[in-house]
């Protein structure tokens, strides 16, 4: 599974080309048709019985930043792309633009801050990116307005099972779909690697209208809160406890029959599985299930600590659990379609 290679690629929303090209190269031998649409989706059709259409969806984009200004002293102004907590980005390493210019997100030193500044969450407008330039001309020789900025985080194993990386949301899903497409399918199955999920589930909306599937399964990464200082009832999901089945979030109330089938089938097959114990967040299912007259849709997710940050933590065993359960969905799809 190519999770390391995927996480280390840069693909902020609207700039997913490197991720898309990597996936396309790897999956083309297994696809009967490859579609690249105008919004940036990569859709791979693997043919089976044409009487039904199945959609598997993950997203290629990650949260990040975009350059919005260049100051006279060479510092770069920026805006967030996707939901990011400014408290976790200060002093973090980033790369800017196609040439991956190295930089650091900076702010006023604590020694110089007023008491009110130290006790509040900093505004993005108070932060900047330092690429070592001393003048505007020096900075503009390296970067330009509209350049995308990604976290500069190397993949690293923390134990035999857990790893640290950026963009686990949703390169974990990409890695899983890249494995699933290698296997035979019963019905025409569309493996959708969608764009711009982090800024409004945009790619999934376009893809689902193109396909008009009979059923859809979204493969995602989701928040995990099983950390020091939190009570059990605050955990949401647990790393190492397997695939996450969602019953409801901000964008979707999941089809009851389908999500119950996923949970019970996992239990019967000995696949570790858990319910997401919160209704926050949302994913591509929020757009897919509203397509046409409505699409039966569910989500399977990989629990991830510190999601939408420079470095998340996830479990390879959980990723395998999601892959195995998604494969059962494809193998036994007549039970739920």
Q: Each residue of 192-242: pLDDT tens digit?
A: 999 999 999 999 999 999 999 999 999 999 998 777 777 766 778 999 999
Q: How far apart are the first and last CA of the chain?
A: 28
Q: If DSSP codes are grouped into helix, strand and coil, which group holds residue 204?
A: helix
Catalytic choice (16, 197, 220, 323): 197
Q: Mark whether 98 is an active-site residue.
A: no
Distance from C-alpha of 23 to C-alpha of 229, rounded to nearest angstrom: 39
| Distant-in-sequence, close-in-space partners of 323: CB < 8 Å, separation ≥ 6 | 1, 176, 179, 180
CA angle 57, 62, 64 (to 5 degrees): 160
**107-152, pLDDT tens digit by residue?**
876 665 677 767 778 889 999 999 999 999 999 999 999 999 999 9
Whole-number pLDDT of residue 299: 95
Banded model confidence at residue 302, pLDDT cuts 50, 70, 90 = very high
For the four alpha carbons of 263, 269, 274 and 279, in that order, the dihedral sign comes to: negative
* pLDDT at site 203: 96
The closest alpha carbon to 15, from 47, 63, 51, 54, belongs to 63
Q: What is the mean pLDDT of residues 312-337?
A: 97
**Residues facing residue 217 across a β-bridge:** 56, 298
Contact 165, 155 (CB under 8 A): yes
Task: Please tell me whether the overall predicted TM-score, pTM, comes out greater than 0.75 for this model.
Answer: yes
| pLDDT of 186 | 97
Give the model's pLDDT for residue 112.
Answer: 56
SS3 label, residue 52: strand
**What is the chain's mean pLDDT, rounded?**
94
Question: What is the per-residue pLDDT for 280?
Answer: 80
Query: What stretch(es) of the chain map to CATH 3.40.630.10?
Result: 3-62+166-335
Stretch 165-171: mean pLDDT: 97
Where do the CATH 2.40.30.40 domains begin and end in the chain? 64-151
Q: Which residues contact 175 (CB under 8 A, 6 or more apart)?
A: 1, 2, 3, 6, 319
Task: Give the C-alpha separation, 264 to 261, whole Å.
Answer: 5
By mean pLDDT, which of 18-32, 220-234, 306-320 is the weakest?
220-234
**For 246-296, what is each residue's pLDDT tens digit?**
999 888 999 999 999 999 999 999 999 999 988 888 899 999 999 999 999
64-151, CATH topology level = Elongation Factor Tu (Ef-tu); domain 3 (2.40.30)
**pLDDT on residue 233:** 62
Give the C-alpha separation, 134 to 71, whole Å.
10
Q: Which residues pair with 77 in a beta bridge?
A: 69
List of residues 6+ apart from 280 with CB closer than 8 A: 223, 236, 249, 250
Q: Which fold has domain 3-62+166-335?
A: Aminopeptidase (3.40.630)
User: From the CA atom positions of the chain, what is the Rg in Å?
Assistant: 21
pLDDT attached to residue 277:
86
Residues 177-181, mean pLDDT to the nearest whole number: 98
């Amino acid at each position: 599974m190519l999770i390391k290679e995927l996480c280390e690629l840069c693909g902020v929303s609207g700039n997913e080309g490197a991720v898309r090209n990597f996936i396309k190269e790897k999956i083309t031998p297994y696809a009967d048709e490859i579609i690249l649409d105008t919004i940036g989706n990569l859709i791979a059709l693997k043919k089976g019985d044409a009487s039904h259409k199945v959609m598997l969806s993950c997203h290629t984009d990650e949260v990040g930043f975009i350059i919005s200004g260049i100051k006279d002293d060479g510092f770069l102004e920026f805006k967030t792309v996707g939901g990011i907590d400014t408290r976790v980005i200060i002093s973090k390493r980033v790369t800017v633009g196609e040439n991956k210019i190295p930089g650091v997100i900076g702010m006023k030193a604590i020694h110089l801050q007023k008491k009110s500044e130290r006790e509040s969450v900093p505004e993005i407008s108070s932060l900047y990116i330092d690429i070592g330039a001393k003048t505007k001309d020096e900075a503009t020789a390296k970067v330009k307005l509209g350049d995308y900025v990604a976290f500069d985080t190397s993949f690293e194993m923390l134990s035999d099972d857990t790893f640290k990386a950026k963009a686990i949301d949703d390169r974990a899903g990409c890695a899983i779909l890249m494995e699933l497409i290698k296997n035979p399918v019963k019905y025409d199955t569309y493996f959708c690697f969608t764009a711009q999920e982090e800024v409004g589930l945009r790619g999934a909306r376009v893809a689902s209208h193109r396909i008009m599937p009979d059923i859809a399964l979204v493969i995602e990464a989701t928040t995990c809160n099983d950390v020091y200082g939190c009570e059990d009832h605050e955990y949401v999901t647990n790393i190492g406890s397997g695939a996450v089945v969602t019953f409801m979030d901000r964008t979707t109330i999941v089809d009851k029959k389908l999500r119950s089938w996923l949970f019970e089938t996992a239990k019967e097959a000995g696949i570790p599985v858990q319910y997401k114990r919160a209704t926050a967040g949302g994913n591509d299912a929020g757009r897919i299930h509203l397509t046409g007259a409505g699409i039966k849709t569910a989500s399977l997710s990989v629990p991830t600590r510190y999601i939408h940050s420079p470095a998340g933590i996830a479990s390879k065993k959980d990723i395998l659990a999601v892959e195995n359960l998604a494969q059962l969905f494809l193998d036994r799809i007549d039970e739920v379609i």
